[in-house]
Structure 1
Amino acid sequence: MPVTDSPLCGRTAVVTGAARGLGAAMARELSARGAKVALLGREERGLARLRDTLPGVSEFWEVDVTDDRGMARAGEDVRARLGPPSVVIANAGVAEGGPFADSDPAVWRRVVEVNLIGSAATARTFVGDLFTTSGYFLQVASLASINAAPMMSAYCASKAGAESFAQALRAEVAHRRVGVGIAYINWTDTDMIRDADQYAVLRELRGHMPPPARKVYPVEYVAGRLVTAIERRRPSVYVPRWLRATQLVRAAMPTVVTMLSRRELPRLAAVEPFEATGLLGAGGRADQADSRTRHG
């Protein structure tokens, strides 16, 4: 699509978690469609490299989405440099896996803070701009928002919470002509997913899903679908499309998952003991390293 044909052309779009993975891919797609892109994330070097490769106007801000004051400062700077945002994408996210009983409380809490509190902080920072621009807020959720899985309690709880937050926000701001969308995505080829496959329990759990549900999708494909949904101000977008059908059987899924887990988890544990993964992927490790630095 030529950039002049896109409703995003010339508008400012904010992307959190932009240093790598899906955030970086969406930033590239937004820039290709003519948007001015504000890159927010934790990894300054990665953000700078991405900024330098984008074809249009873009700037980056190294900021923790859970830091209200830091986000407020970044928001002021975004407005001054790029103008008030018309699009805000709450994409920043981390994950960890392993048995809840053995989980590190700080790591478990961090997943919820980034995925849920960080999304709310992102919305709080920029919702006033969206009122001005009649803009659009996209919450990146997950199949985990619809169906909780064992060994991923923090991630599932945080993504379900982010989905609920976005639904509440949508109802609250609809009369202000602000759109709120939710992106339900399945396995996407990012370093987080590749790292998860290094752990036997997470690899096996994915392997026991039905073939369509275990497929990993290219990050560029997912990003393209999400940016098209932004252009059309969709209230929801499902990647792959068949994920929409899971909404129809949502009430029955916890019972099915519990039955399968009761059978499969003892068998898997006999092959290799379950262990906590810590934060997954290079982005998770960067977040953990920065957290250690902040707390001495």
Structure 2
Amino acid sequence: MSRSLDGQVVVVTGAARGVGALLARKLAARGARLALVGLEPDELKQVAGALGGGAACWTADVTDRDAMAAVAAEVLAHFGRIDVVVANAGVATGGPFLDSDPDAFDRVIQVNLLGSVTTARAFLPALIASRGYLLQIASLAALTPAPMMAAYCASKSGVEAFAHSLRAEIGHLGVKVGVGYLSWTDTDMVRGADQDDVLRELRAKLPWPTNRTYPLEPAVERLAAGVVRRSPHVYAQWWLRGMQSVRGALPSVIGGPLGRREMRRAAPALAGQAGVRRGLVGRGGEADESARAAGHHTQ
């Protein structure tokens, strides 16, 4: 490690499972004190309990401005400062746009994009005071479009642009802003998406190395190292850095011959699923839907 996070207070959203939970563990191992935010109180408490070191958790919907403002105030009162915020909370849905569930489609935009905006709005005053660091988790989906992933690609392209704009706007105040990029990584979200036969087969036809599912541990280790360095760009898989230099050509390739060919191949299977409304994928998606049905809150 180039330097530790001893005593620094780190907030991680979407911390109940997957990338968020493991990242919290890796940051705690580097000496950070963790404030975990998510929608699953029991899971959050388990993660916090395993971390030790006075980790604490808050249950909140990242799209709720009042709830997130209250969480930010409570975290600041509890720890006395906030040094790092990782905007990690996210959900996904997939399938043909015209067959998509409009509520699920909109929810992906709300959580991934507007939830990140709400997170930044709530925590930036504290980060300005500490001259801290905001890491926005984006995706390979911000670098290249993909058929049947319109909501996710739009949301992740949006948060990438949002984070870059913030970096330019608040850098003179001493706050650093980073963007974290992950390809398909072994999480509940990706496993949930793979339950759809058409989506799984389409993904398998993507060019290498974008067609693989990558292990969680090394990906999150790279994110943790990026937090320590306060990096402007953090790549969870090494090859994603190289995608930056060719991203301008990717819409023409994916949206052109490659996309048309694979969608023609998928057409018979999609015809058999016509009218099927796909909701949010994975256990995190289920948790989001359950929390909204029950009425979100903070605690």
Give the TM-score of the pair, scaled to structure 1.
0.95
**Residue of structure 1 equivalent to 2:68:** 71
Question: Is 2:81 the partner of 1:84?
Answer: yes
Measured in 2, the distance between the counterparts of 1:209 and 1:113 equals 28
Unpaired runs of 5+ residues, structure 2, are none
Amino acid at match of 1:282: R
Measured in 1, the distance between the counterparts of 2:80 and 2:145 equals 39
**Residue of structure 2 equivalent to 1:212:** 209
Measured in 1, the distance between the counterparts of 2:107 and 2:228 equals 32
**Residue of structure 1 equivalent to 2:278:** 277
Measured in 2, the distance between the counterparts of 1:128 and 1:62 equals 21
**Residue of structure 2 equivalent to 1:241:** 238
**Residue of structure 1 equivalent to 2:47:** 50
2:23 to 15, 26, 29: 26
Residues 99 and 276, structure 1, Cα contact 8 Å, conserved in 2: no
Greater mean deviation of Cα atoms: 165-174 or 236-245: 236-245
Cα deviation for residue 65 of structure 1 reads 0.3
Question: Is 2:95 the partner of 1:98?
Answer: yes
Runs of 4+ in 1 over 4 A off after TM superposition: none
**Residue of structure 2 equivalent to 1:264:** 262
Measured in 2, the distance between the counterparts of 1:220 and 1:277 equals 29
**Residue of structure 1 equivalent to 2:121:** 124
Residues 10 and 35, structure 1, Cα contact 8 Å, conserved in 2: yes
Measured in 2, the distance between the counterparts of 1:210 and 1:81 equals 48
Aligned Cα root-mean-square deviation (Å): 1.4
Measured in 2, the distance between the counterparts of 1:219 and 1:242 equals 16
Residues 18 and 47, structure 1, Cα contact 8 Å, conserved in 2: yes
Residues 184 and 243, structure 1, Cα contact 8 Å, conserved in 2: yes
| 1:64-100 C-alpha deviation (Å, 9 max, x unpaired) | 0000000011111101111221000000000000111
- DSSP-derived class of the 1:212 partner: coil
Measured in 1, the distance between the counterparts of 2:293 and 2:51 equals 32
Give the TM-score of the pair, scaled to structure 2.
0.94
Measured in 2, the distance between the counterparts of 1:252 and 1:214 equals 18
Measured in 1, the distance between the counterparts of 2:81 and 2:108 equals 29
Measured in 1, the distance between the counterparts of 2:127 and 2:178 equals 13
Corresponding residue pairs, total: 292
Measured in 1, the distance between the counterparts of 2:182 and 2:266 equals 26
Cα deviation for residue 276 of structure 1 reads 4.1
- DSSP-derived class of the 1:214 partner: coil
- DSSP-derived class of the 2:210 partner: helix
Cα deviation for residue 292 of structure 1 reads 2.1
Identity %: 50
Amino acid at match of 1:210: P
Measured in 1, the distance between the counterparts of 2:39 and 2:237 equals 28
Cα deviation for residue 251 of structure 1 reads 1.5
Measured in 2, the distance between the counterparts of 1:229 and 1:185 equals 13
